[in-house]
A and B are shown apart, each in its own frame.
Chain A
Amino acid sequence: MTIEELKRIKEQTLPQINMRHTHTVENETKYKHQVLVCGGTGCTSSGSGKLIDEFKAQVSAHGIEDEVQMVRTGCFGLCELGPIVIVYPEGVFYAQCKTENVKRIVEEHIIGGKVIDDLVYHEKTTGEVKEKLSDMQFYKKQSRIALRNCGVVDPEKIEDYIAFDGYQALAKCLFEYTPEQVIDIMLASGLRGRGGAGFPTGLKWKFACGNRGKVKKYVCCNGDEGDPGAFMDRSVLEGDPHSVIEAMAIAAYVIGADQGYIYVRAEYPIAVKRLSIAINQAREAGLLGNNIFGTDFSFNLEIRLGAGAFVCGEETALMTSIEGNRGEPRPRPPFPAVKGVFGKPTILNNVETYANIPQIILKGADWFAGMGTEKSKGTKVFALGGKIVNTGLVEVPMGTTVREIIFDIGGGIPGGKRFKAAQTGGPSGGCIPEANLDTPVDYDSLMAIGSMMGSGGLIVMDEDNCMVDIAKFFLEFTVDESCGKCTPCREGTRRMLEILTKITDGKGEDGDIEKLEELANTIKTTSLCGLGQTAPNPVLSTLRYFRDEYEAHVYEKRCPAGCCKHLAKITIDPEKCKGCSLCSRKCPVGAISGEIRKPFVIDQSKCIKCGACLESCKFGAISKK
């Protein structure tokens, strides 16, 4: 591949697919309509594969195969409403599309030219019809850099990526910049690691670039997205794998490496498949391999699969795992820039970090640094989940407030419930209470309120979630995932979990909360790696903002959220009970008795607090406190 060939592919492909940005059909465009169907994990799970088959069948039944192009893309972001279909050139957004709707879309919209009002997206909060993606509340406040191609290109076609300036950043680096100049651009852009810790990417590269050409070096990508509830990296790998490959090649050029590894969770089969396809295409096109663009720069890339160990997201553990061993972390220093994979200098960046890099090279450091806050530049991708209307993937400029993300973009809390807290950073992070909703999202502000940026999982909790129970949930996770190498993490987290279990079982004693705090602080300061050092954070942060809930559990034997089974008391309101007997029939232990048309009662000594009666009552007479 030469630069001229790269340009030629761009010129040939762009007019064919540019309607996805411009909404206009150009003269050279072969297909007059394009139907984009989300092929991310979420939409695939809700049946987008069948939709594509049905579209193909309908399109050929009407004999318009030459006019309509079907494209399976990566994630559009609004996973809540999958499977999602977008019809271009108009850019009309059909949510929760069913196979039986396909015929109508083909006949009424594509052939008839009329947008179908009852199938098109409606704002969930106001019910307004929003035809186009750009009109939707969910997308309005977003700005997409890392996700720019997700839901736009076909991730299995390198031509699509090249059409939108793909691999030009690599060419620019090879022909116009010295490695030092690239580092200067990275430093000036202010890009910090998106895996959670926020270390400046340019600085990491600078540390690893000594002895260029004299020693073997490696470039690695951390795609071991272990934080439960986070799926940003998966979406980038599924939707735009070439951006990561291109950025890794740039990193390799800068430090003088000729071999790279992408470490991906084996639990992400779609991402692994698309990444393998992309690597093969890049290799065939000569964008990976020997003498790239005819220069003396060579770079090879391999995928290594994780095998289900959360600790492998920690950089030294990940490298040990790439070497084929038990993924146990090792002490730093020496840092990976000095001694990494197979004992050689290595740089390791996260998927989302890499996805930003080609754009920074093409548009310049100033462009990137113009977004965000003083110390956190650019954008951040968040995976919204839990008790939120618009579950999905969003990318916002740094400095956007938590409130804007949850309420303006995320649509707030479903079912009229009250917001309680948002959790970021997963098992390493902390929670953000209502009082701190106006905190701008950047590394330092989140750290200051006891939470953290983390990799980008953002789970929303409402009044029905018990914060002690959530802390226990995360501790169970870290106890499970602790690799066992160092004592504070292996033993300490287990002791913390025992105390939390005692508290949620209603057996908490005076002094338990203090003991938790002491253990937490010891584990934090003495653990070997990031997993142990951050494992107590969910407890510390819930204690900081919801200490009253802990105290209610310990001293009053009460769970304010009515979530902890052992502390709950289920009662029937005699005023509201109509005596229909449905609940007594549902009760698995025969704890409810009464006469028809008279109020029923629950025998508390028999009740196992399963909640079956609660769900059965049609009159709202049963409550759990």
Chain B
Amino acid sequence: MALTKEQIAEKTEELKKFIAENKNMPGPLMPIMQFAQEKFGYLSLETQILIADSLGIPVTEVYGVATFYAQFSLNPKGDNVISVCQGTACYVKGGAKVLAKVEEQLGITSNQTTPDGKFTIQDTRCLGCCGLAPVMTINEDVYGKLTPEMIPDILAKY
């Protein structure tokens, strides 16, 4: 999802306000980064520098935290984010085959975005709805009890 210049400026102001309100709490870095990730969808170098400067810490520290946790992304994601669960319950019920089919259909592998920016496949360990295994989510929509054959029709909806 590409942001316009105005949107970026607006979101940057929101981030600055959030930082000002929270910089004095104990351990402020992660909550601030989570806020930024939610606002922008990813953490650009500019965002990381802004956070580091506001907190008076080196950018390497922000980058270190950003690359440590799976939730933070350094690149923008596609319009539709697909998460195919690879938790244990889904795995024993064929989650790997479902993922392979999604990858085959889109021509990308996990943690990549299609060249047209329409889909991103994301690594997911457990979505916590093991009763529906194997499961995948596309944005907020949950698809359960999947077989590889169901994938093309589901993807066609987006």
Residues of A at the B interface (CB closer than 8 Å) are: 41-42, 45-46, 79-82, 226-231, 234, 266-268, 304-310, 321-328, 342, 383, 385-387, 391-392, 423, 426, 457, 459-461, 465, 470, 473-474, 477, 483, 615
Residues of B at the A interface (CB closer than 8 Å) are: 26-31, 33-34, 64-65, 68-72, 86-89, 91-93, 125-133, 135, 142, 144, 149
Q: Which B residues are CB-close (under 8 A) to A461?
A: 92
Q: Is the CB of A46 within 8 A of B31?
A: no
Q: Is the CB of A342 within 8 A of B89?
A: no
Q: Which B residues are CB-close (under 8 A) to A231?
A: 126, 128-130
Q: Is the CB of A41 within 8 A of B128?
A: yes
Q: Please list 28 pairs of residues, one from A and one from B, whose beta carbons are closer than 8 Å in the complex, sorted by A's number.
A: A41-B127, A42-B132, A79-B132, A228-B125, A229-B126, A231-B128, A231-B129, A266-B34, A304-B27, A304-B30, A307-B33, A307-B69, A307-B70, A307-B71, A308-B69, A308-B70, A309-B69, A309-B70, A310-B125, A323-B26, A324-B27, A327-B68, A328-B68, A386-B93, A386-B133, A387-B92, A391-B89, A460-B92
Q: Is the CB of A385 within 8 A of B144?
A: no
Q: Which B residues are CB-close (under 8 A) to A229?
A: 87-89, 126, 130
Q: Which A residues are CB-close (under 8 A) to B127?
A: 41, 45, 267
Q: Which B residues are CB-close (under 8 A) to A387?
A: 92-93
Given contacts A386-B92, A391-B133, A423-B88, contact A228 B28 (CB under 8 A): no
Q: Is the CB of B129 within 8 A of A42?
A: yes
* Complexed CA–CA distance, A615 and B150 (Å): 14
Residue of B nearest to A457 (CB): B88
B107 → chain A closest CB, angstroms: 15
Q: Which B residues are CB-close (under 8 A) to A82?
A: 131-132
Q: Is the CB of B28 within 8 A of A324?
A: yes
B85 → chain A closest CB, angstroms: 8
Q: Is the CB of A473 within 8 A of B88?
A: yes
Q: Which A residues are CB-close (under 8 A) to B70?
A: 307-309
Q: Which 6 A-B pairs have the closest CB atoms?
A: A79-B131, A385-B89, A308-B70, A228-B87, A307-B69, A324-B27
Q: Which A residues are CB-close (under 8 A) to B135?
A: 45
Q: Is the CB of A483 within 8 A of B68?
A: yes
Q: Which B residues are CB-close (under 8 A) to A326?
A: 64-65, 68
Residue of B nearest to A77 (CB): B131
Residue of A nearest to B25 (CB): A302
Q: Is the CB of B88 within 8 A of A307?
A: no
Q: Is the CB of A391 within 8 A of B92?
A: no
Given contacts A229-B126, A385-B130, contact A45 B144 (CB under 8 A): yes
Q: Is the CB of B89 within 8 A of A386?
A: yes
B126 → chain A closest CB, angstroms: 4
Q: A234-B128, A304-B27, A386-B92 are in contact. List 14 more A-B contacts (CB 8 A).
A: A45-B144, A46-B129, A80-B131, A81-B131, A231-B128, A231-B130, A305-B30, A308-B71, A327-B69, A385-B89, A385-B130, A386-B93, A423-B88, A426-B88
Q: Which A residues are CB-close (under 8 A) to B129?
A: 41-42, 45-46, 79, 231
Q: Which A residues are CB-close (under 8 A) to B131?
A: 42, 79-82, 385, 391-392
B97 → chain A closest CB, angstroms: 8
Q: Is the CB of A307 within 8 A of B132?
A: no
* Complexed CA–CA distance, A301 and B97 (Å): 43
